[in-house]
């Protein structure tokens, strides 16, 4: 049973408190969306879960499968089965997508079983082709240097392929407001829908409701001022689309007062 548990998480950036006690549980295989106005700390939560050094955890706990995530480095978190999109946004000239994915997979396997000798090249080729076919990707993609000259959509594809190969237990996607075009949105959504299931949960962080038209969440949470203040089913996202966030803020401020 894999479960992400965020308990009373407080995070500051350069001494300024941004997250003020986030509580959230994502049980195995569920898709949870976090929505909220700009500047309320959604990306801060994503970066904190990633282990970005600029984000100082000043209180609270985050565990995954009962293990403390916060004292682990980004690569250790990944080996535990936490997939962090945008973890490798830099291009790596000279390293092909296939090589990168095989190295990542082997590292994951080795941490699960220190005796693991790694996947053989023919076996890996077979796996990669199977995943690329599943995601309807051109096989030539595997031979390109990672992210080098990739379009926005191709970077997304590379991430989704990475997700398909590594089969994380939870994928955290911060669809930052820096505009995904409709193509990239479709790639991400189709990929997530193809891979979500009892074995893979998703934490989908988004300002816009539109991605939730494609990826149907089990639960929707609203973050205001660094706290999750409202939770509901998929209908909540539609309600927010229609009515905005102001009513949530008012309700929250009324209860806080
Ligand atoms: P969201 O993703 O919900 O739009 P963010 O987590 O990006 O919100 O930002 C939350 C708050 O933290 C904002 O007030 C923002 O200005 C501030 N912030 C984010 N990143 C930094 C940073 N690197 N340095 C200083 N302040 C930051
Ligand atoms: Mg953001």
Ligand (nearest to CA of 38)? 1
Q: How many angstroms is it from 97 CA to the middle of ligand 2?
A: 27
In this structure, what are the phi and psi dihedrals at residue 122, rounded to the nearest 5 degrees?
-60, -40
Which residues are CB-contacts of 68 (< 8 A; sequence separation ≥ 6)?
A: 61, 62
The Cβ-side half-sphere exposure at 11, using a 13 Å CA radius, reads: 30
pLDDT at 90: 62
Q: How far is the CA of 247 from the centre of ligand 2 (A)?
A: 21
Boundaries of domain holding 85: 3-256
Q: Measured between alpha carbons, how far is 142 from 108 in angstroms, rounded to an integer?
A: 19
Look up residue 200 and give its DSSP letter: B
Q: Sheet with 67-68: list strands edge to edge.
A: 16-27, 3-13, 55-64, 67-68
Q: Closest ligand 1 atom, CA of 176?
A: 2
Task: Decide: residue 112, CB within 10 A, 0-12 exposed, 13-18 middle, 19+ buried.
Answer: exposed
117: tokens are: 């000798």
**pLDDT computed for residue 59 by the predictor:** 98
Ligand 1, atom nearest to 37 Cα? 3
* Region of residue 10 (left: phi > 0; alpha: psi -120 to 50; beta: else): beta
Residue whose CA is closest, atom 25 of ligand 1? 13
Of all ligands present, the nearest one to the C-alpha of 224 is: 1
CA torsion, ordered 224, 226, 229, 230, to nearest 10 deg? 70
pLDDT, one tens digit per residue, over 147-202 is 788 887 788 888 889 999 999 999 998 875 556 678 778 888 888 999 999 999 99
Residue minimizing CA distance to atom 24 of ligand 1: 13
Q: For atom 16 of ligand 1, which residue has the closest CA?
A: 39
| Dist. CA 253–CA 146, nearest whole Å | 46
- H or E segment and range at residue 153: helix 152-166
Q: Is the pLDDT reported for residue 89 higher than 70? A: no
Cα distances (Å, whole numbers) of residue 112 to 27, 109, 115, 118, 247: 21, 5, 9, 11, 46
* Structural domains counted in the chain: 1
What is the residue with the minimal CA distance to atom 27 of ligand 1? 13
Ligand 1 geometric centre to CA of 253 (Å):
21
Q: What is the mean pLDDT of residues 55-65?
A: 96
Cα of 13 to ligand 1 centre, how many Å? 8
Residue 40 has pLDDT above 80, yes or no: yes
pLDDT at 176: 57
Q: Please tell me the predicted confidence (pLDDT) of residue 209.
A: 82
Task: Specify the pLDDT at position 179.
Answer: 61
What is the per-residue pLDDT for 66?
92
Residues touching ligand 1 (Cβ under 6 Å) are: 13-14, 18, 36, 38-44, 54
CATH of the domain at 42: 3.40.50.300
Distance 176 CA to ligand 2 centre (A): 5
């Amino acid at each position: 049973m894999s479960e992400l548990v965020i308990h009373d998480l407080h995070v500051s950036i350069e001494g300024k408190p941004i997250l003020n006690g986030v509580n959230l549980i994502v049980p195995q295989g569920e898709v949870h969306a976090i929505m909220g106005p700009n500047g309320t700390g959604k990306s801060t939560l994503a970066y904190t879960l990633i282990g970005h050094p600029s984000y100082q955890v000043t209180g609270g706990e985050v565990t995954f499968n009962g293990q403390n995530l916060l004292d682990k480095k980004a690569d250790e978190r990944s080996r535990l089965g936490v997939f962090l999109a945008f973890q490798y946004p830099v291009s790596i000239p000279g390293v092909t997508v296939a090589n990168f994915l095989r190295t990542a997979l082997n590292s994951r396997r080795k941490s699960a079983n220190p005796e693991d000798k790694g996947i053989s090249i023919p076996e890996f080729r077979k796996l990669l082709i199977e995943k690329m076919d599943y995601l309807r990707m051109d096989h030539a993609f595997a031979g390109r240097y990672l992210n080098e000259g990739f379009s926005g959509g191709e970077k997304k594809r590379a991430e989704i392929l990475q997700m398909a190969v590594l089969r994380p237990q939870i994928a955290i996607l911060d669809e930052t407001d820096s505009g995904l075009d409709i193509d990239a949105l479709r790639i991400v959504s189709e990929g997530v829908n193809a891979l979500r299931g009892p074995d893979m949960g998703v934490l989908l962080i988004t300002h816009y409701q539109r991605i939730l038209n494609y990826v149907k969440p089990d639960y929707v949470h609203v973050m205001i001022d660094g706290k999750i203040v409202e939770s509901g089913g998929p209908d909540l996202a539609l309600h927010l689309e229609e009515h905005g966030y102001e009513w949530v803020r008012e309700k929250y401020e009324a209860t806080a007062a």
